[in-house]
Amino acid sequence: MSSVHKMKEGYLNILGLAPAYVVMLFMMVIPLGIIVYVSMMTSDPYGGFISEFSLDSFQQILFVTDWDDNLQLDLQYLNIIGRTLLLSLITAIICLCLAFPVAFYIARQSASRKALLLFLVMLPFWISMIVRVYAWVLILSDNGVLESVLSFLGLVDDMDSLLYNNGAMLVGMVYSYIPLMILPIYASIEKLDLRLVEAASDLYANRFNTLFRIVLPLCKPGIVAGIILVFVPCLGTVLEPMLLGGGKTMLMGNLIQNQFGVARNWSFGASLTLALLAIVMIFLMLQALRASRLKQQEQ
Amino acid sequence: MSLSINDAVSDNISEPMNTTAENTPKRRSVRKNHDAKHFPGFKAVTVLFFAFLYLPILVVIGYSFNENKIVSVWHGFSWKWYSSALQNDGLMSALQVSFTVAAVATFFATSIALAAALVLSRGKNVKHAPVSEAVVNLPLMLPEIVFAVAVLILFSQLEIRNGMLKLILAHTCFCIPFAFLPIRARLKGMNTNLEQAAQDLYAPPWTTFKLITLPLIMPGVLAGAMLSFVISLDDFITSNIISGGGATTLPVYIYSLVKQGVSPELNAISTLIMAISLLIATPFWFLSNRK
Amino acid sequence: MKEIIQIKNMSKSYGSYQAIKDISLDIYHNEFFTLLGPSGCGKTTLLRTIAGFETPTSGTIKLHGQDIQDLPAHKRRVNTVFQNYALFPHMNLAENIDFGLRMLDWSADERAQQVGEMLDLVHMKQFAKRMPSQLSGGQQQRIALARALAPQPEVLLLDEPLSALDHKLRQDMRDELQALQRETGITFVFVTHDQEEALAMSDRICLLAHGEIQQLSDSIDIYENPNNKFVADFIGETNFMPVSVKDRSDDAIVVDTPLGIDIKVANTGFKKGDEATLSLRPEKISINAKDLDVNIEGEVIHHRYMGGYTHYTVRVDGGHELRVSRGNEISNDIRFKLNERVRLSFAYASARVLAA
């Protein structure tokens, strides 16, 4: 009787999870396998790829072939990768510096006010990314809102477009991803026993010391989670470089996108995708290692 | 609708300022704030942050009412860009595509997520539950561009050319974790005693599910459905890469307009989209905050 | 007396942890039966196996002579009052009480009548249409009781139902629960960690520790004649002292105590030379009263006024300390002062010798 029961339960478990597994297998796992395959094939200049083994696409990340068929080191893609890492890192740091005071301030409000402020933090996130990035195009473009406001105030006469540079992308990225930083930090401050802050000040710590020796260390899990939540999507971000960055200041996201669009170089696109994936995995792995080391220390 | 966004936003920004005006000077004139939990400057950063967050949105909304065709020069108030937006066939067909895809993808994603969440929080002797949990959340672990490229190649290999079908398949996949998380949270927060109480009062398992579990997790299911609906509606990266086959979604259509340059009609369209998002986000907020 | 529940050789383990170790016990008709013990002793697990929320690893449970260990919870004619009441938050009180009746396919008329009677029984008629969240803890408790009693179960299982209530309300609910049990004639199986609650309400108490039965008897017996040191310590307060058996006859033994005197107690299976523990309850010792079997002198080194009684700690000549409690019958003017010399007396019959 009870074994029949158990068998039925086992079937139900499998039945309930099966659809999710099927979708993830066919839409995530197999496609990722195909990317690996395509990266090792030859690009078809008319789109798609030809099933002919070649590692040229990986080589292309670092080298160009000159007229004499010699390999020459080519830094343009490495530059893009470096810029992507740097801008993502700066975005994460700016987000952190802004988000921590905001999260702390919100955490100390009354319950109803907390709910309202959190709602307002999350609300832009519900608004289409394209609309939010477009807002900055509107503000920063040549003859845009910022320029007309500044010239109305008599501060500038005529200025160059503020778009199409690293700064514009940075503003756009911070703007897009900052809610993802606030939420985990807010959660960790909520968990923090604020009496510890009082205890620290009772033991003669000034505000600077309480902040850096008590509050920040205790909020570390939230801060780390926030950095990852901002940093990882920044690495693959597409809209900001496309609309605010332009052709000269590309990031990995729109570089990859281009290989499947105008550049028609699928194999190269696939190997760039793998490079991006590898970078993300390294960061996630480092984090996982750190987390497991912390767990061990606790035991 | 746009007005209410406006109100909510300006309320919030002005509120902390008001309290600054009322409390702080008084307190300061009497004595310094000795509360150790008070860090000076945090409030100012918060005010600046909300300004940073909402000013760009307000600019778009404000300029959508600008009569002038040159966007940045204010000429007077007008609704005309809204009426021209609503008569824009490209926009209307993109809207239709987006809503259809979002509705269908939400239905499938929510059903799949609900089944998985039920097994993972209520199933007995579930093997490798953490692995299954990770599998369900797989789309959250990759940058979206990776997913987009992967499904693009998949569809081209399988020669799936129907744009709608491609969009629905891809959106269903990346919506699953967004539908899953609120449902899972709700199930975790629900006291399992309630289900036991129902069985104790002679309700067989299926009846228990129907009369107790389902009604109680319904807010979570609705929240998950709304979240996945908005995620699908707003998606750009994947939809842009796999677009073609006669199906252009709203964000992809807007992108094509942005490429042509800023325009007051674009401001009106953006404002309309924000209104739609707000319409969905607000009930979501109330649902997920309900105890 | 007829058994309604028979548990035979039941064990329950979670992995390597054994929550219940080979327990056998019978519960009788119309009995107020209490499972008592510290947390982690297995009492709640035992209750949940009767309810059908846990399957025993081995052993059998019989309800009315029928094996039920393989029956799912919804097919057992027993009902549970949950620790935190588990009222369905999306149903009003009447609907909560009605739930079980609906599941048992009672007719609409019968259901309406029974729900009314149950609401009357717990004095909550005027709240029928309220939602559970609008009730106080005590009111939720009553509805949980009404809901569990409505389907007229053979046995009512109560899982620490009073633990969430405040002290005063808990006292009132004790009387109410006991009255309800007498009124309905339903067997109550009550789980608690509160020994006072157990003593006050139960017909029989089963004291559990580490998944094993320590003692199963009525309130008086479990207090007056504990089986072992654990029982004596868990129920009420006592003075323990190490003793050794000096002499034995057929019906009595003489033990030598650290008080410097020998005590003669009933023989409970000890041999000459055995090391044992003597248990002496504080209220069995009188101060400066008439002489009894044992009379010793000492000095008050501590006292604590508790309202209804006063606790004294007395160091007897020879150094051993004894706790003594004395009811404050008249007033506090004859309280014994610190360092005052007093004479303590008790009867041999008050002392119990237990295995060391």
Q: Is the dihedral of CA C293, C294, C297, C302 positive or negative?
A: negative
Q: Does C129 lie in the same domain as C174? A: yes
C-alpha–C-alpha distance, residues C122 and C146, integer Å: 7
The answer on C122 and C261 residing in a single domain is no
Q: Residue B201: helix, strand or coil by DSSP?
A: coil
pLDDT in tens, C258-273: 888 888 888 778 888 8
| Centroid of chain to Cα C102 | 35
Q: What mean pLDDT is predicted for residues A246-253?
A: 81
- For chain B, the domains span 39-78, 88-289
Mean pLDDT of A216-239: 88
Q: Among positive and negative, which fits the CA dihedral C122, C127, C128, C131?
A: negative
Q: Please give the pLDDT value at position B48.
A: 92
Give yes or no: residues C242 and C228 share one domain.
no
Answer for the pair A120, B8: CB distance below 8 angstroms, yes or no.
Answer: yes
- pLDDT band at residue C334 under the 50/70/90 scheme: low
- pLDDT-derived band at C158 (thresholds 50, 70, 90) equals very high
* Whole-number percent of chain C with pLDDT over 90: 56
- CATH classification of the domain holding C203: 3.40.50.300
Please give the pLDDT value at position B19: 41
Select from B197, B202, B207 the Cβ nearest to the Cβ of C86.
B197
CATH superfamily of B88-289: MetI-like (1.10.3720.10)
pLDDT for residue A236? 87
Q: Return the residue in A13, A21, A22, A96 with the most chain B beta carbons within 10 A, the one to mutate for interface testing.
A: A13
- Between the alpha carbon of residue A299 and those of residues A89, A293, A294, A295, C50, the distances in Å are 32, 10, 9, 7, 37
- A299 or B267: whose pLDDT is higher? B267
pLDDT averaged over every residue in chain A: 83
Query: Are C83 and C7 found together in one domain?
Result: yes
Reported residue count of chain C is 356
Q: What percent of chain A has pLDDT over 90?
A: 17
Using pLDDT thresholds of 50, 70 and 90, give the confidence band for residue C10.
very high
Chain C: closest CA distance from residue A118 (Å): 26
Q: Which residues contact A23 (CB under 8 A, 6 or more apart)?
A: B112, B172, B173, B176
Res C282 pLDDT > 90 = yes
Top-confidence residue, B12 or B160: B160
Q: Mark yes or no for CB contact C151/B212 under 8 Å.
A: no
Across the range A129-143, mean pLDDT stands at: 86
Higher pLDDT, B159 or C158: C158
Q: Tell me if chain B has a CB within 8 Å of the CB of A46.
A: no
This model of the complex carries an ipTM of: 0.84
Q: Cβ separation of B196 and C82 shorter than 8 Å?
A: yes
Q: Look at residue A8 in the predicted model and tell me its pLDDT.
A: 66
Per-residue pLDDT, C69: 87
Residues C248 and C220 in one domain: no
For residue A107, give the chain B residue with the closest CA: B37
Phi, psi of B189 (to 5 degrees): -75, -15
- The answer to whether A70 faces chain C, any CB pair under 8 Å, is no
- The pLDDT value recorded for residue C226 is 92
Residue C328's contacts (CB-CB under 8 Å, 6 or more residues apart) are C305, C307, C308, C309, C310
Neighbours of chain C (3+ CB pairs under 8 A): A, B
| CA dihedral for A25, A28, A31, A33, sign (positive or negative) | negative
Q: What is the pLDDT of residues B94-132, one digit of tens each?
A: 989 999 999 999 999 999 999 999 999 888 777 888 888
Taking 60 as the threshold, does the pLDDT of residue A4 lie above it? Answer: no
Between helices C137-149 and C167-184, what is the axis angle to 10°? 20
Subunit partners of chain B (3 or more CB pairs within 8 A): A, C
Give the mean model confidence (pLDDT) for residues C133-159: 91
The pLDDT > 70 percentage for chain C reads 99
Sheet holding C275-280, edge to edge: C262-266, C252-256, C239-248, C275-280, C352-355
Q: Are C57 and C69 in contact (CB under 8 A)?
A: no
Structure tokens at C126: 């005027």
What residues in C contact A1, CB-CB < 8 Å?
70
- Regarding the domain with residue range A76-264, which homologous superfamily does it belong to in the CATH classification? MetI-like (1.10.3720.10)
> Reduced to 3 states, what is the DSSP secondary structure of residue B200?
helix
Specify the pLDDT at position B267.
Answer: 86
Cβ atoms of C97 and C146 closer than 8 Å: yes
Asked if C36 and C124 sit in the same domain, the reply is yes
For residue C105, the model assigns a pLDDT of 92
Asked if the C-beta of B8 comes within 8 angstroms of chain A's C-beta atoms, the answer is: yes
A236, A276 in Cβ contact below 8 A? yes
> Mean of the pLDDT values across residues C131-156?
91
Give Dmax (Cα) for chain C: 76
Q: How many CB pairs under 8 A join A and C?
A: 4
pLDDT at C331: 66
pLDDT at A93: 94
- By CA distance, what is B137's nearest residue in A? A24
User: If you average pLDDT over residues B75-91, what whole number do you get?
Assistant: 80
Q: Answer yes or no: do B198 and C99 touch at CB < 8 A.
A: yes
Residues on chain B touching A116 (C-beta within 8 angstroms)? 12
| For residue B16, pLDDT beyond 50 | no
CA distance B224 to B211: 20
Domain boundary among C199, C232, C265: C232
Contact partners for chain A, using 3 or more CB pairs closer than 8 A, are: B, C
Number of other CB atoms surrounding residue B130 within 10 Å = 8
How close is the nearest chain B Cα to the Cα of A128, in Å? 5
pLDDT tens for each residue of B156-184:
888 888 888 999 999 999 999 999 999 99
Query: Smallest Cα–Cα separation from C352: which of C259, C233, C244, C266?
Result: C266
> What's the average model confidence in pLDDT over C75-94?
91
Q: How many domains does chain C have?
A: 2
Q: What number is the average pLDDT over the span B6-31?
A: 42
Q: What integer is the mean pLDDT of C192-215? A: 93
Amino acid C1: pLDDT: 66
Q: Does B105 touch chain A (CB under 8 A)?
A: no
Domain ranges across chain A: 1-74+265-299, 76-264
Q: What pLDDT was estimated at residue B244?
A: 67
Q: What is the pLDDT of residue C15?
A: 85
The closest alpha carbon to C88, from B45, A264, B222, B196, belongs to: B196
pLDDT at A7: 60
Q: Which residue has the higher pLDDT, B200 or B3?
A: B200
Structure tokens belonging to residue A2: 């009870």
Range in A119-133, B68-82, B239-253 with the lowest mean pLDDT: B68-82
pTM: 0.80
Q: What share of chain B is helix, strand, coil (3-state, %, to 5)?
A: 80, 0, 20
Q: Assess contact for A232 and B143: CB atoms under 8 A.
A: yes
B66 strand-pairing partners: B77
Determine the structural domain holding residue C342 and report its residue range: 237-355
- How many helices and strands in chain C, by DSSP H and E? 8, 20
Report yes or no: A200 and A216 within 8 Å, Cβ to Cβ: no
| Same domain for C47 and C107 | yes
